[in-house]
Chains A and B, each alone.
Chain A
Amino acid sequence: MPKYAMVIDQSRCVGCMACVVACKRENHVPPEQYRTRVLEMVNGEFPRLKSEMRSELCNHCDHAPCVTVCPTGASHKEDDGTVQIDRRKCVGCKACIAACPYNARYINEEHGYADKCSFCQHRLRAGKKPACVATCIGQSRIFGDIDDPNSEVSRMLRDNSYRVLKKAAGTRPNVYYINQFPKKS
Chain B
Amino acid sequence: MAGSFDRFWISSTKEDVMAFSRRNFLKYAAMSAGGTLLAETPFLSARAREKAEGGNVRYVPTTCEMCFWKCGVIAKVVGGEVVKLEGNPLHPQSRGRLCARGQAGIGLLYDKDRLKVPMIRTGPRGENRYKQASWDEALGYVADKLKGVEDKYGPEAVALFAHGSPGTYFNNVVRGMGSANVAYPSFAQCLGAREVAWELTYGQGPNSTCERVDLANSRVIVLFGTHLGENMHNSQTQEFAEAVGRGAKIISVDPRYSTAASKASMWLPIKPGTDLALLLTWINIIISEGWYDKEYVEKYTTGFEELKKEVKSYTPAWAAQETDLPMRQIVESVRDLGRYAPNVMLHPGRHFSWHGNDVQRGRAMAIVNALLGTWGRPGGIWLPPKVNLAGFSENPEHPKANKDAVVFGDYPFAGGEGLTQVLRETTIKGDPYPIKAWIVAGTNLIKTMPKPDLTRRAIDNLDLLVAVDVMPTDTVMMADVILPEATYLERHDGLFTITTREAGIALRQPAVAPMYQSKPAWWIGSELCKKMGLEQYAVKDTWEGRMRRQAKKWGIGFDELADTGYVAIPGSAAPYITATNQPVFKTPSKKIELVSSELEEEDFDVIPKYEPIEQPKKGEYRLLYGRSPVHTFTRTVNNQWLWELKKENEVWLNKKEADRIGVKNGEIVRLENQDRVVSEPVRVRATERIRRDCVFMIHGFGQHSPAMSRAYNRGADDQKLITRYKVDPICGSTGMRVNFVKIIKEA
Which residues of A come within 8 Å of B, CB atoms? Answer: 2, 9, 11-18, 20-22, 24-26, 31-32, 40, 42, 44-47, 49, 51, 53, 124, 127-129, 134-140, 143-145, 148, 150-152, 179, 182-185
Known contacts A2-B35, A127-B38, A152-B34; is A14 also within 8 Å of B641 by CB? no
Contact residues of B between 262 and 277, Cβ < 8 Å to A: 262-265, 267, 269
Question: Measured between alpha carbons, how far is A182 from B262 in the docked complex, in Å?
Answer: 8
CA distance A22 to B232 in the complex (A): 15
Q: Which residues of B (11-56) have their CB < 8 Å from a CB of A?
A: 31-32, 34-41
Contacts of A140 in B (CB 8 A): 241
Taking a contact as CB atoms under 8 Å apart, the answer to whether A182 and B38 are in contact is: no
- Once the chains bind, are B98 and A135 in contact (CB under 8 Å)? yes
Closest residue of chain A to B106, judged by CB? A25
A144-B34 contact given A45-B688, A47-B269, CB 8 Å threshold: yes
The total of Cβ contacts below 8 Å across the A-B interface reads: 171
Q: Mind listing 18 A-B residue pairs with CB under 8 Å?
A: A2-B35, A11-B245, A14-B237, A16-B237, A18-B99, A18-B102, A22-B98, A25-B83, A31-B644, A42-B689, A46-B655, A46-B688, A47-B269, A49-B688, A135-B97, A140-B241, A183-B247, A185-B249
Q: Does B190 contact A (CB under 8 A)?
A: no
Distance in Å: Cβ of B327 to nearest Cβ of chain A = 15
**Chain B residues within 8 Å of A32, by CB:** 644
Given A145-B36, A183-B247; 8 other pairs, CB 8 A cutoff:
A11-B244, A14-B228, A16-B232, A25-B104, A128-B40, A135-B98, A148-B36, A152-B35
Interface residues on B, range: 35 or more
Asked if A124 contacts B37 (CB within 8 A), the reply is yes
Contact of B262 among A24, A49, A144 (CB under 8 A): A49
Contact B100 A14, beta carbon cutoff 8 Å? no
A interface footprint on B220-248 (CB within 8 Å = 1, 0 otherwise): 00000000111010100110111011011
Tell me, in angstroms, the Cα distance from A45 to B689 when the chains sit together: 8
Residues of B within 8 A of A11 (CB): 244-245, 263
Q: Which residues of A contact B692 (CB under 8 A)?
A: 46
- Contact of A144 (CB < 8 Å), options: B35, B238, B250, B269: B35
Whether the Cβ atoms of A151 and B267 lie closer than 8 Å is: no
Closest residue on chain B to residue A147 by CB atoms: B36
Contacting pair B257 A21 (CB below 8 A):
no
CB <8 Å contact, A127 and B34 = no
Contact pattern, B 438-460, Cβ under 8 Å of A = 1, otherwise 0? 00000000000000000000000
Specify the chain B residue showing the minimal Cβ separation from A9: B245
B97 and A134 contacting across the interface, CB-CB below 8 Å: yes
B340-372 residues with Cβ-Cβ distance < 8 A to A are none
A152 partner residues in chain B, CB cutoff 8 A: 31, 34-35
Report the separation of the CA atoms of residues A128 and B41 in the bound assembly, to the nearest whole angstrom.
8
Is B1 close to A, CB under 8 A?
Answer: yes
**Cβ-defined contact, B241 with A12, below 8 A:** yes
Give the distance in Å from the alpha carbon of A13 to the alpha carbon of B629 in the complex: 12
A182 to B243, CA, bound (A): 11
In the complex, B323 has a CB within 8 A of chain A: no
Query: Closest CB of chain B to A181's CB: distance in Å?
Result: 9
B241 touches A42 (CB 8 A): no
Residues of chain B with a CB closer than 8 A to A151's CB: 34-36
Chain B, 651-665, CB within 8 A of any chain A CB: 654-656
In Å, the complex CA distance between A145 and B269 comes to 43
- Do residues B38 and A124 form an inter-chain contact, with CB atoms below 8 A? yes
* A32 → B minimal CB distance (Å): 6
Contact partners of A44 in chain B: CB under 8 A: 688
Which residues of the partner chain A approach B259 to less than 8 Å between Cβ atoms?
14-15, 40, 51, 53
The answer to whether A137 and B37 touch across the interface, beta carbons within 8 angstroms, is no
Question: Sorted from nearest, which 10 A-B pairs have the closest CB atoms?
Answer: A138-B241, A14-B229, A51-B262, A21-B103, A16-B629, A17-B100, A21-B100, A46-B688, A12-B245, A12-B241
What secondary structure prevails in chain B residues at the interface with A? Answer: mixed
The reply to whether B34 and A137 contact each other, CB–CB distance below 8 Å, is no
Is A16 within 8 A of B37, CB to CB?
Answer: no
Residues 104-146 of chain B, each 1 if its beta carbon lies under 8 Å from chain A, else 0: 1010000000000000000000000000000000000000000
Contact A14 B84 (CB under 8 A): no
A144 touches B38 (CB 8 A): yes
Which of A21, A51, A151 counts the most B-chain CB atoms under 10 A from its CB?
Answer: A21
Residue of B nearest to A129 (CB): B38
Task: Name which residue of chain B comes closest to A181, CB basis.
Answer: B262
Residues of chain A within 8 A of B104, CB atoms compared: 21, 25
Does B465 count as interface, using CB distance less than 8 angstroms? no
What 0/1 pattern do residues 87 to 106 of B give for CB contact below 8 A with A? 10000000011111111101
Contact A127 B689 (CB under 8 A): no
Asked whether any CB of chain A lies closer than 8 Å to the CB of B642, the reply is: yes
Residues in A with CB closer than 8 Å to B249 are 185
Q: Is B677's CB within 8 Å of the partner chain A? A: no
Residues of A within 8 Å of B245, CB to CB, are 9, 11-12, 138-139, 179
Q: Which of B41, B96, B232, B257 contacts A42 (CB 8 A)?
A: B257
Hey, which chain B residues are within 8 Å of A21, CB to CB?
A: 100-101, 103-104, 630, 641-642, 645
Question: In the complex, are the beta carbons of B267 and A182 less than 8 A apart?
Answer: no
Q: Nearest-CB distance from A53 to chain B (Å)?
A: 7
Task: Enumerate chain A residues within 8 angstroms of B322, measured Cβ to Cβ.
Answer: none
Residue among A51, A137, A182 with max Cβ neighbours from chain B (10 Å): A137
A136 to B94, CA, bound (A): 11
Closest-CB distance, B265 to chain A (whole angstroms) = 5
Asked if residues B87 and A135 are in contact (CB atoms below 8 Å), the reply is yes
Q: Could you tell me if A15 and B230 are in contact, using CB atoms closer than 8 angstroms?
A: yes
CB of B171 within 8 Å of the partner chain: no
Shortest B629–chain A CB gap in Å is 4
Instruction: Give CA–CA (A24, B263) in the complex, Å.
Output: 27
- CB-nearest residue of chain A relative to B262? A51
Is residue B720 contacting chain A, with contact meaning CB distance below 8 A?
no
Nearest residue (CB) in B for A19 is B100
The distance in angstroms between the C-alpha atoms of A22 and B94, with both chains bound, is 15
- Do B247 and A127 have beta carbons less than 8 Å apart? no
Contact of B640 among A16, A17, A31 (CB under 8 A): A31
Q: A18-B97, A18-B100, A139-B1 are in contact. Are A46 and B654 (CB under 8 A)?
A: yes
Q: Indicate if the CB atoms of A42 and B37 lie closer than 8 Å.
A: no
How many angstroms from the CA of A144 to the CA of B38 in the assembled complex? Answer: 8
Most chain A Cβ neighbours within 10 Å, of B41, B245, B249, B264: B245
In Å, the complex CA distance between A18 and B32 comes to 20
The distance from the CB of B686 to the nearest CB of chain A, in whole angstroms, is 12
B490, CB-defined interface residue at 8 Å: no
Which residues on the A side are within 8 Å of B425 (C-beta)?
Answer: none
In the bound assembly, the distance between CA atoms of A42 and B34 in angstroms comes to 36
Residue B175 is within 8 A (CB to CB) of chain A in the complex: no
Docked-complex contact A16 and B87, CB < 8 angstroms: no
CA distance A144 to B84 in the complex (A): 23
Q: Are B241 and A139 in contact (CB under 8 A)?
A: yes
Closest beta carbon of chain B to A86's beta carbon, Å: 21
Partner of A16 from B34, B100, B690 at Cβ < 8 Å: B100
- Complex CA gap A178/B616 in Å reads 43
B691 located at the interface, meaning its Cβ lies under 8 Å from any Cβ of chain A in the complex: yes
The answer to whether A134 and B640 touch (CB under 8 A), given A139-B238, A139-B241, is no
Find the A residue at minimum CB distance from B692.
Answer: A46
Shortest Cβ gap from B376 to chain A (Å): 25
Could you say which residues of chain A place their CB within 8 Å of the CB of B269?
46-47
| Complex Cα–Cα for A15 and B629 (A) | 8
Q: Is B81 an interface residue (CB 8 A)?
A: no
> Complex: how many Å from CA A175 to CA B124?
59
Query: Could you tell me the distance in whole angstroms from the C-beta of A106 to the nearest C-beta in chain B?
Result: 14
The minimal Cβ–Cβ distance linking A42 to chain B, given in whole angstroms, is: 6
Q: When the two chains form their complex, are residues B37 and A15 in contact, meaning their CB atoms are under 8 A apart? A: no
A21 to B644, CA, bound (A): 10
| Contact present for A137 and B689 (CB under 8 Å) | no
A127 touches which of B37, B86, B262, B655 (Cβ 8 Å): B37
Residues of B within 8 A of A22 (CB): 98, 103
Q: A11-B245, A46-B654 are in contact. Are A18 and B31 (CB under 8 A)?
A: no
Contact partner, A138, options B238, B640, B642, Cβ 8 Å: B238
Residues of B within 8 A of A185 (CB): 247-249, 265
Q: In angstroms, how far is the closest chain B Cβ from the Cβ of A117? A: 16
